[in-house]
Structure 1
């Protein structure tokens, strides 16, 4: 019966990765149209003429809300479900599993594109 506690944090962090797509996209959009475009590493969207302050007003609350939610959920699970393991693997696994729904499809698309270019 104790074995189910092992699977709850990974499942919850994978589930939290689905809404994490929104703050990660907002951070990516801000970086590509702001600082990275100023450095010349990316090209700014020509339709983006509202300025970056508006984006910061949107991004900061969204990212802060998600980070607070993620931290609260993981601190609660860590203290209630896992009592004997060191905290470091827990936090590393939690972060990686939260990022999987965002970066997993990107990595799959890159791998698929590489395979297709090798076959053609």
Structure 2
């Protein structure tokens, strides 16, 4: 078996689990904006009664935070994939990385 180093499959998962800890902030911001904006307008959630500043202020905060984290996340994963794997992967790399990144947020929601 060519490239039979099983630890290489766990490195992206471990790195994305570590990236998932600071990812709690952008994921929370996205959830907050969606629940107070479009989803509240559709009647799927109730808007925070203290949220009367409008959504532009939140978008000024959310877009740079999410864009910065998304850029760092993508660059790290592209570098890891090029560095560790030379053959096609037996699993969907990006889906595993996204799941590992979102896992700390969902664990925190489950605990809280």
After TM superposition, the score normalised by the length of structure 1 is 0.82
Measured at CA, do residues 59 and 13 of structure 1 come closer, stay the same or move farther in structure 2, by a change above 3 Å? same
Deviations 1:27-74 (A, max 9, x none): 010011111111111111111111100000000000000100000000
Q: Structure 2 stretches of 5 or more lacking a match?
A: none
Q: Structure 1 stretches of 5 or more lacking a match?
A: 111-120
Aligned to 1:25: 28
More helix by share: 1
- Decide which of 50, 53, 74 is 2:53's aligned counterpart: 50
Partner Cα separation in structure 2 for residue 95 and residue 27 of structure 1: 15
Shift of 1:3: 3.7
After TM superposition, the score normalised by the length of structure 2 is 0.88
Residue correspondences, number? 109
Question: Pairwise mapping of residues 94-105 of structure 1 onto structure 2 (< 5 A)?
Answer: 94-105=97-108
- Decide which of 72, 83, 87 is 1:84's aligned counterpart: 87
